[in-house]
Amino acid sequence: MAQTVRFEKIVSEGKALAHWNGKALFVAGALPGETAVVRLVREKPSWAEGVLEQITEPSSHRGAPQEAHYLSCSPWQGVAYDYQLALKRDMLAELFAHSQLDLAVTKMVGSPHSLGYRNKLEFALMPEGGDVVLAQHVRGTAADLVAAREGCVLGTAAMNELGRAVAEMASDLGLAKVARRLTLRQSHTHGGVVAVLELAGPARADFAAFNQLGAQGMAVLERSTAGAARLRWSYGQLEVLETIAGMQLVYPWQSFFQVNLPAFELALTQILAVLKPGTKVVDLYGGVGSIGLPAARVAGEVVGVEIMHEPVALANRNAELNGLSNYRAVVAAAEAIDLEVLTGADTIVVDPPRAGLDPKVVELLLASGARRVVYLSCNPVTQARDIRRLAEAYSASAVTGFDFYPGTLHVESLVVLTRR
């Protein structure tokens, strides 16, 4: 059901607030003062959610987007960047004020680049006649696709060029009926691009034809109806080599890794400045070591904690690659580690997924005795919740916002908590 509404302000998680039928209506992508056509997707007694379909009266801050599928990838595309940053700062300020934490938002740090910043692009693939076309999912749907033939302006020119070439080659090989997904990753500092093509079923094709496209490495996966992936073909190097804060890190194409490295390094600089030289640091949710390894250049000892075996193996390998003997990574869920891992830590760094900290992690932090907890979050809503729980032993006075994802509603926030 479509409705035309006028939006009032941006609230938590970057959604725009309007009122419809006596209810609060939340929609991702609209700006304050805009009027738009919205498709309702969820309705409760006091609130509803919708998906933005067409902006009929745009804000004066909104310019023309660069691509037709912008509502799928970056609904604030074309919005004046200073205004984007102001909205995100206001969103953080309102969130932490309503959370009764009395934390001031001291700064909203912008990204060095507002376009072309992503080192990872993911495309759906859709058939168009006998061809394969790059596409993205229509926001708010699981199956509807919108063509993105040229790629996406959030990614680099090299990734988009390779993406178009893979789609064209998949067309030539007769894969239109089975080609479903394409993942592209590029090293920001070394330039190589990796491509992984996923098929929805078996196919007979000369996959070696992809060799001529110039990728650093490429793989073709075949997914069963149950979702399991089988490697059909690969060549080259599927790991990505990156340099962060002077450290070389290797990570696999399917691993979580920061997608906007220049923006991430701005946050990392503030994290490293908090560390006391020569002390013990524990890096929870440590991944392949993007925070923990640079921290080892400052700290006396760093322990990385990560639930997945492969990132832990790579983190330890990355430590060797950089000649660091004071770093070690261990396999464990953050909520299941022994308190002994945290014993003696001066600083504990947490960078959890959007769900935030498990209550058991909060209990461990409270019991740890660590002088500081440095909390980098991709979801300030759950971060605020966790800081309220940690207030039993820790206090904080300020929040710093970071814009890792220009054009989108997402914002990162950094809070340093000190033991009272």
Helix (DSSP H) and strand (DSSP E) numbers for the chain: 9, 23
Q: Which of 335, 333, 323 is nearest to 359 (CA)?
A: 335
E-strand spans in 110-163?
120-128, 131-137, 145-147
182 touches 167 (CB < 8 A): yes
Dihedral sign computed on CA atoms, order 368, 374, 376, 381: positive
Residue 26 pairs in a beta bridge with: 17, 49
Specify burial of residue 240 (Cβ count, 10 A radius: 0-12, 13-18, 19+): buried
| Active centre residues (catalytic) | 378
Reported as half-sphere exposure (CB side, CA atoms, 13 A), residue 31 has a value of 25
Length of the chain: 420
Q: Which of 54, 66, 46 is nearest to 3 (CA)?
A: 54
Q: Kindly state the tokens that stand for 331.
A: 């396999």
β-strands 301-306, 327-331 pairing: parallel
Q: Kindly state the tokens that stand for 19.
A: 């009122």
DSSP 383: H
377 touches 353 (CB < 8 A): no
Q: Edge-to-edge, what's the strand order for the sheet holding 131-137?
A: 145-147, 131-137, 120-128, 179-186, 193-199, 217-223, 229-236
94 Cβ neighbours under 8 A, 6+ residues apart: 11, 12
